[in-house]
Amino acid sequence: MYDFLKNHRIQRLVNEKPRLQILPGCCSIYWPNNTLGNNNPQLLVRILDLKFLHIKKMDNMRKIWCHQHIIMDSFSKIDFFQVYDCHKLLNIFPSNMLGRLQKLEKLFIQRCNSLELIFEELNTTGRDVETVPRVLVFPQLTWLRLSDLPSLRSFYLGLYISEWPKLNKLSMWRCNKVEILTSEHSSFEKSHGGSQPENSIQEQLFIVDKVAFPKIEHLALEWNWIVKEILHRNFSKYSCNIKVVELIRASKQSGICPCCFLCTLTNLERLDVYHGFFGEIFACEELDCKKKHADTPSKLSQLRLANLADSLHQCEEDSLLCKVFRNLTSLEVLKCHTLKNLVPSFVSFQNLKKLEVSRCDGLVNLMEVSVAKNLGQLTRLKINECKMIEEIIMHGVDEVENRMIFYQLEYLELHSLPKLTSFCSGNCNIEFPSLQQIVMRQCPTMEIFSQGVLSTPKLQRLQTAEVYDEGSWAGSLNTTIQKLFKDMVGFRCIENFTISDFPHLKEVWREKILVRNLKSLVMDDKCCSLRYIFTSSVALSLVQLQKLQIKNCVILEVIEVIEEETVTNNLFPNLYELKLINLPELESFCNFAGNAIELPSLTHLLIENCPNIQTFVSNFTGEDMSTTKDKRLTDIQPLFDEKIRLSNLKLLRLDKMDKLREIWHHQLSLNSFSKLDSLGLYNCHNVLNVFPSNMFGRLQKLKWTVIKNCSSLYEIFELQASSCGKTQAITAAQLEKLVLHDLPKLKHIWDVDSQGLLTCQNLISIEVIDCGSLKSVFPASVGRNLLRLEQLWIENCCMVEEIFAKEEQVDEAVPRFPRLTFLRLAELPRLQSFYPRVHISEWPVLKNLHVWKCDRIEIFVSNVLRFQVNQGESQQEKPMEQPLLLLDKVPFNNLESLTLDWKWIEKESLHEKLPMYSCKLKVLTFVGFHNEANICVSCFLHKLPDLERLQARQGFFKEIFSFKGFGCEEKHVEAPSKLSILWLFDVFDTLHLWEENSLSGKVFQNLRILEVIKCGNLKCLVPSSASFKNLKTLKVSKCNGLLNLVAAPTAKSMMQLTKLSVSECERIEEIIIHEGDEVEDIIIFKKLSCLELQCLPSLTSFYSGNYITEFPSLEQLVVRECPNMKTFSRGVLRAPRLYGLQITETAEGKGYWKGNLNTTVEHLFTEEAGPGSIGGGTWRAATGEKRIYTNIVNSAGKYFSLKPSNKTTTSCGWVAIDVRNGKIIWSIADPSNALAFGPLTLANGVLFAGSTHGKGPIYAMNAKTGKVL
């Protein structure tokens, strides 16, 4: 850990009485969770020799230093300072701290959500305003890390110049408000003027003089910042020394070619790529710079890839990417789950010395033989934690040369590869002349190293641990591995065990595995015949177990049986996550006759679909079991009682527990649930209330509560019970988020609150939806203390009359919402008022206001003066026509999104109130727009200068842009200037009934995004004269009258379109309509990169005309559930960047492909189950229930996709085909990864098939689903 403060704790600095605290020998301080609190104004601090300071998880801290209380020479020797997870912190240093940071070498600031500035702005007023820039110099700083700071705007808000003479490493990511990284002081003054430094807040993080970072060698940045640095010509000034680049979320969509950028870094030695798309970094086709890149960055030799969204296969032979691979000496690949194997067969790693691959769960094999033959320089190979990998080197059938020599390989590690069967299964001769150390851990299915001749002259042992292991040896590597496999040594040290991966061990796993080493255990065997899983002795052996998941065990009644009362009550001491899922007969977690058991480290508990469980710990065992069960059925059993101690539980989720009626007993073990911060309750239909009054004292840290679909629940918080004391209730009210959905019998959230027992002052978000018996949401006294509330959402509660209930004792205080930004009141037919008394409401930061279908509300808002004149100032009770909101002056200064019933918009406009609060509107939604409007909608929209998005639902769209009858036609020459997004839902008329050059047409020309949903009267989206020259995204869904989308002339205008999605339109036959008089022409979707066609049963083609259609940027195409689509386009079709068609919503890899798009679409309807041999399937097929069952031979071991799962394999397998339409119902691969030549037999719904694997298995499969039984 850290060198702690020589027996001093930081509490001494804030709690002791002396005004001056001197710690002359202090070298390092670590401030743990929540020990600092607020600054003590009576305390002066002097710390002379402090060098290391670490502050972490100080939830209530807003400032670290109070500049008035720091003695002159304090903190002047700090060389390493880091701040993590302080989410209320606004800045790091006071302005007078700069002189004390002259020795600072490392500064790390991470995960501080509210941090806006690094240095606090110097307090200046009037004539003291800064006119000369401050100089911020960090003479010794070598490493600066800023990450996960969503509110960070600038280093210092005032006028300044920063200097970083020794900065060697800059790491920065997820600081989303920072737009520009660096700016020269001279250009800043020209742009903003010296008197307006505040304008820089949203523009640049660092203001510098000339060269920003003269010594920088290591740069870790998000790609968008690098692009801006290049475009502003700042990057080249400090990039000449860069040796290491960590590139985050790289993409060429920015207009800067990442490849060009890398080639300018003449000294680049190492490249790390995190997230994003790796293939785009070295692909230059679209940016016309391919000719520039004949060679790679000359010194680039190390590559690290992590969390990539694509594979490494998207490179052509002799491409720049292949050249990069040839020059590498080190390659690390981490968490790239889309990889099936590492690189294509033509890639060469001729200089590679180190290769490490870890946690790539989609990887089936590492590389082909042709790639492995070029690894002559490889010295170190590590493959770790790849769940699906079956072999390291895949030997193809067509391989001619059968010899591989790894000349320099000295170290080989294979760790935690549960499906690995061999290093190479082909009949290759493999030589390792230099191999001295091989570590093979947790590879329980590895039966042999290689089938061919194997030479390892220097190897004398095989280790099952990297250190402190003398290893095993049985004369040769193959013999040693075979012996380990026979002795099941691979299971002994296994840390992560899933029973379904090893079905042959389901009855004997306790004997074959050293359970004391297990850290993760998953029991998921449907055929398990056990009534319980653990005996006392086994449970007590699981001392390292951290995660336990038990699911799909159909007759399991209890997890653990402890029959001896003397057994220790401390179970699973390191278990922090427990999941119990789909256990229909489970009645309890543990049977225990003693006083209580404890799970001391458990923080996460999930119980899902365990309908018979009533209590977590039961006490029936042996002969007494049936009697105790019968008695328990007549009682209400709480899930948790005094027999279980869960002192560290933080998250509790209960779902589908049909017999659960009560969660907590009135007596619980000491400290149980005292750290609970999240509760989820779902589909528990017999639970009556959630929080009894005795629980409030324990729920001091509860912040998050979600309750959904509990049909008997009538109350959330029970306050009426006599045991509920005032202090106890107040300390329980730390709730921040409350979500209540689908609770039809809920009468009260709080039953009473006449004494103000529950203040809920920390609530931030409240959602109450589909609660049909609720009449009000809050007691009035609760509402008056919601000062931190940011979101309030009440919807579809048919009995709600008031948001805040009436109260017996009148209090002058009224609800205030100083932080509320989102308010939604929808489908509340009985709602009459927000608050029962007349009051003026204030909404200073409200940005989103959505109110509709509240039919009893006659007036939406009224100002206080008008209301007093109409009603009389003396009236205190709610009048018959009180407005929903009574406001004063300008009601919503910051309103950006507004949804209202059209009748309210009309009334607000006619009374001239709407312009008072709509000037900043960016999003406007009409609900129920009719064709007899009393105001001109176009005039109304033109009064909204910032309107960007217009949404219309359940109305007549054509009337929105009609101004006939209002005498204002001449005003509407142009559409609203910023309107660029149109969303239409359940519109009653069509979109194409307008005149050419009308206002509607101009609106469509300006659109960037158009979404049309459930507009049943549409036949065609727009007339052929319509133009979408600026449209980037078009989504159309559930428009069942639609026959086609657009005509060819409209399609030709879509040059900017990047995404097109059409789904669930039952009658649509083609996307672009072919008109008979067309002559040959061309349609180019220049920027379209993503096209989705889903659930379109009548679609026959994308375009049936003769036009040439080109998609130069198309990379993702999804065609799902379009059974009548016979071809994509009749004319010439070009899609040069498309190499796969996805046929599922979440397709893996490149998808389905047959050389070109038209051929691929045609093959979708002449389905091939998989590769055959000389013929297709062989031997005898089986038939039954209008299905044919046959084998997939695949004798060449080709890659293909199983349907409809789209999983890829090189194995043989079996397939079920619907005889009525030829569709594939299911297909699976041979689990033995062998040949499947044998005949098939069907009996009693079970399909039997054999495999040529050496053990001669016969598999029984469910004929309906293909699941191996």
The span from the CA of 1098 to the CA of 1095, in Å, is 9
The whole-number average pLDDT for the span 744-750 is: 87
- Kindly state whether residues 1041 and 1067 are assigned to the same domain: yes
pLDDT of residue 41: 47
Which DSSP letter does residue 954 get?
Answer: S
Q: Which of 634, 655, 676 is the last residue of a domain?
A: 676
930: in domain = no
1003: in domain = no
pLDDT of residue 1068: 92
Q: How many CB atoms lie within 10 A of CB 1154?
A: 14
- Kindly state whether residues 617 and 562 are assigned to the same domain: yes
Query: What does the DSSP assignment read for 957-1021?
Result: SGGGG--TTTT-GGG-SS--TT--EEEEES-SS-S--S-TTSHHHHHHHH-SEEEEES-TT-SBS
The span from the CA of 755 to the CA of 771, in Å, is 26
Q: How many CB atoms lie within 10 A of CB 274?
A: 19
Query: What does the DSSP assignment read for 111-163?
Result: --TT--EEEPPP---GGG---S-EEEE-TT--EEEEES-TT--EEESSSEEEE
Position 200 confidence tier, pLDDT thresholds 50, 70, 90: very low
Position 823 confidence tier, pLDDT thresholds 50, 70, 90: very high
- Kindly state whether residues 1083 and 1029 are assigned to the same domain: yes
Task: Tell me which of 392-401, 835-844, 857-866 is least confident.
Answer: 857-866
Handedness of CA 240, 243, 249, 250 (dihedral sign): positive
Strand pairing category for 1187-1192 and 1213-1218: antiparallel
Exposed (0-12), middle (13-18) or buried (19+): which is 295, by Cβ within 10 Å?
A: exposed
Q: For 224-262, how does the pLDDT look when each residue is reduced to its tens digit (9 = 90+)?
A: 778 777 766 767 777 788 899 898 887 655 556 777 777
**Structure-token pair, residue 487:** 């002795």
Residue 318 CB contacts under 8 Å (≥ 6 apart), including other chains? none
- Higher-confidence residue of 901 and 69: namely 901
**Structure-token pair, residue 1237:** 């030549």
pLDDT > 60? residue 595: yes
Position 1015 confidence tier, pLDDT thresholds 50, 70, 90: confident
pLDDT of residue 730: 46
pLDDT > 60? residue 565: no
1045: in domain = yes
Task: Tell me which of 93-102, 549-558, 784-793, 1092-1101 is least confident.
Answer: 93-102
Counting the structural domains of the chain, the total is: 3
Cis preceding linkage at 1204, omega within 30: yes
Handedness of CA 761, 763, 764, 766 (dihedral sign): negative
Position 1176 confidence tier, pLDDT thresholds 50, 70, 90: very low
Q: For 538-564, how does the pLDDT look when each residue is reduced to its tens digit (9 = 90+)?
A: 777 888 889 999 988 888 888 776 665
Position 652 confidence tier, pLDDT thresholds 50, 70, 90: very high
1132: in domain = yes
pLDDT of residue 1220: 59
- Kindly report the average pLDDT of the chain as a whole number: 77
Q: How many CB atoms lie within 10 A of CB 1240?
A: 21
Position 506 confidence tier, pLDDT thresholds 50, 70, 90: low
Query: What does the DSSP assignment read for 327-358?
Result: H-SEEEEES-TT-SSSS-TT---TT--EEEEE
Position 742 confidence tier, pLDDT thresholds 50, 70, 90: very high
pLDDT > 80? residue 411: yes
**Secondary structure (H, E, C), 36-99:** CCCCCCCCEEECCCCCEEEEECCCCCCCCCCHHHECCCCCCCCCEEEEECCCCCCEEECHHHHH
The whole-number average pLDDT for the span 380-390 is: 92
Winning range, highest mean pLDDT, from 429-433, 593-597, 1221-1225: 429-433
Cα(first)–Cα(last) distance of the chain, in Å?
A: 51
pLDDT of residue 412: 95
pLDDT > 60? residue 307: yes
Q: Which residues pair with 534 in a beta bridge?
A: 560
- Kindly state whether residues 1097 and 1192 are assigned to the same domain: no
Position 402 confidence tier, pLDDT thresholds 50, 70, 90: confident
Winning range, highest mean pLDDT, from 146-150, 504-508, 531-535: 146-150
Q: Comparing C-alpha atoms, which of 654, 651, 669, 647 is closest to residue 595?
A: 669
Strand pairing category for 117-119 and 1187-1192: unpaired
pLDDT of residue 331: 93
- Kindly state whether residues 1188 and 1157 are assigned to the same domain: no
Percent of the chain clearing pLDDT 70 (strictly above): 71
pLDDT of residue 859: 60
In terms of residue numbers, what domain contains 573?
Answer: 495-625+642-676
150: in domain = no
Which DSSP letter does residue 1173 get?
Answer: S
- Kindly state whether residues 545 and 595 are assigned to the same domain: yes
pTM score over 0.85: no
Position 890 confidence tier, pLDDT thresholds 50, 70, 90: low
pLDDT of residue 891: 64
Q: Comparing C-alpha atoms, which of 751, 754, 876, 860 is closest to residue 808?
A: 754
151: in domain = no
Q: Which of 1164, 1191, 1206 is the last residue of a domain?
A: 1164
Q: How many helices (H) and strands (E) does the chain have?
A: 20, 83
- Kindly state whether residues 1038 and 1158 are assigned to the same domain: yes
Task: Tell me which of 254-263, 354-363, 476-485, 743-752 is least confident.
Answer: 254-263
- Higher-confidence residue of 466 and 1106: namely 1106
**Helix (H) or strand (E) segment spanning residue 189:** helix 185-192
- Higher-confidence residue of 198 and 344: namely 344
Three-class secondary structure of residue 263 per DSSP: helix
The whole-number average pLDDT for the span 1083-1110 is: 90
Position 23 confidence tier, pLDDT thresholds 50, 70, 90: very low
- Higher-confidence residue of 195 and 565: namely 565
- Kindly state whether residues 1157 and 1196 are assigned to the same domain: no
- Kindly state whether residues 1076 and 1217 are assigned to the same domain: no
Winning range, highest mean pLDDT, from 209-213, 1082-1086, 1192-1196: 1082-1086
The whole-number average pLDDT for the span 79-104 is: 85
Residue 1058 CA to its chain's centroid (Å): 23
- Write out the E strands in 786-931: 791-795, 802-804, 822-826, 848-852, 861-863, 885-887, 897-901, 923-927
- Higher-confidence residue of 951 and 807: namely 951
- Kindly state whether residues 551 and 659 are assigned to the same domain: yes
Residue 627 CA to its chain's centroid (Å): 49
- Higher-confidence residue of 133 and 305: namely 305
**693 and 718 Cβ atoms separated by less than 8 Å:** yes
The whole-number average pLDDT for the span 176-193 is: 63
Phi, psi of 235 (to 5 degrees): -65, -40
**1227 and 1213 Cβ atoms separated by less than 8 Å:** yes
Which DSSP letter does residue 484 get?
Answer: H
- Kindly state whether residues 1025 and 1154 are assigned to the same domain: yes
**Secondary structure (H, E, C), 1084-1118:** ECCCCCEEEEECCCCCCEEECCCCEEECCCCCEEE
The whole-number average pLDDT for the span 277-287 is: 60
- Kindly state whether residues 1096 and 1217 are assigned to the same domain: no
The whole-number average pLDDT for the span 844-872 is: 68
Which DSSP letter does residue 212 get?
Answer: S
Task: Tell me which of 625-634, 695-704, 1244-1253 is least confident.
Answer: 625-634
pLDDT > 50? residue 725: no
pLDDT of residue 750: 74
The whole-number average pLDDT for the span 502-526 is: 71
Q: For 455-500, how does the pLDDT look when each residue is reduced to its tens digit (9 = 90+)?
A: 999 999 998 876 666 788 989 999 988 888 887 776 767 778 787 7
Q: Which residues pair with 822 in a beta bridge?
A: 791, 848
The whole-number average pLDDT for the span 726-748 is: 75
pLDDT of residue 456: 93
- Higher-confidence residue of 251 and 1106: namely 1106
**988 and 952 Cβ atoms separated by less than 8 Å:** no
94: in domain = no
The span from the CA of 1251 to the CA of 1097, in Å, is 39
Q: Which of 1164, 1190, 1225 is the last residue of a domain?
A: 1164
The whole-number average pLDDT for the span 770-797 is: 86
The whole-number average pLDDT for the span 128-139 is: 70
Q: Comparing C-alpha atoms, which of 348, 391, 392 is closest to residue 370?
A: 348
pLDDT > 90? residue 579: yes
1049: in domain = yes
